[in-house]
Homo-oligomer: A and B are copies of this chain.
Amino acid sequence: MLTIGYLAKKTGTKVQTIRYYEQIGLMPEPGRTDGGQRRYGNAELDRLSFIRHARQLGFSLDAIRELLDLSDHPARSCEEADAIARRQLKQVEQRMARLEVLRLELERMIEECSGGRAADCRVLEVLRDHSECLTDHEGIGT
């Protein structure tokens, strides 16, 4: 019989977060001691590991709910899980591409910083100057 604190330590989760997962129905309501403290089994530890691992991979709690549902009904097709993972991969790639643009612009900003007064600071200038902006909102909604 495992305590909530043990699960927390094993999975790198905060105790409150586990209770939160229970509250939103992602974790089952566990058994309790006479005093009312939660006691878990290994199945719950595995489930929490699954959730945390998926969270680290950037899956939303909703996506995780889907995945857990799939793994609770193993007769269903793998395609759904695959589709969820592919969606996730796409999102990760988009985020990375976006971050790369940001990284380059930040590097440029820092490189050009003259070290003088804020009035001449390239960092502020770049942020102020709309013409150097990578995105263009002029055409939106027209």
Contacts and interface: CB of A to CB of B under 8 A. Distances in A.
Nearest to A73: B118
B127 A77 contact: no
Contacts of A127: 50, 53-54, 57, 67
Given A89-B107, A99-B95, A74 B12 contact: no
A49 B103 CA distance: 19
- Which size bracket describes the interface of A in this complex? 35 or more
Nearest to A133: B53
B123 A82 contact: yes
Nearest to A84: B123
Interface string A106-122: 11011001111111110
Interface in A69-116: 70-71, 73-82, 84-86, 88-89, 92-93, 95-96, 99-100, 102-103, 105-107, 109-110, 113-116
